[in-house]
């Protein structure tokens, strides 16, 4: 199973044994320079959608934390 890991102060990192493609809404593929794939979520990367570590300069701090699955309320 692949994992998309949200870094607290950085990108979404795609962790999988399988190769992944990053495509836009038209299906066109982005060049991915590094593996694992790290996708920018600070909106400051000059290489979007890839992270280029600009988040370190801008001081990203994620506000969202996942609720453990077993702790989710039953609807
Ligand atoms: S999350 Fe790394 S540059 Fe945006």
Check pocket membership of 40 for ligand 1, CB cut-off 6 A: yes
Query: Where is 56: in which H helix or E strand?
Result: helix 54-58
Distance from C-alpha of 9 to C-alpha of 38, rounded to nearest angstrom: 13
Query: Where is 68: in which H helix or E strand?
Result: none
pLDDT at 67 over 90: no
Check pocket membership of 36 for ligand 1, CB cut-off 6 A: no
Distance from C-alpha of 5 to C-alpha of 46, rounded to nearest angstrom: 21
Write down the pLDDT at residue 34.
87
3-state secondary structure of 17: coil
What's the predicted TM-score (pTM) here?
Answer: 0.83
In the chain, the percentage of residues whose pLDDT exceeds 70 is: 99
Closest ligand 1 atom to Cα of 42: 4
């Amino acid at each position: 199973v692949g994992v998309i890991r949200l870094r607290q102060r950085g990108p979404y990192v795609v962790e999988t044994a399988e190769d992944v493609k990053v495509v836009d809404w038209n299906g066109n593929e982005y060049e991915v320079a590094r593996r694992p794939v790290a996708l920018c979520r600070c909106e400051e990367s000059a290489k979007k959608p890839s992270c280029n570590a600009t988040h370190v300069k801008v001081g990203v701090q994620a506000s969202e934390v996942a609720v453990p699955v077993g702790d989710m309320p039953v609807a």
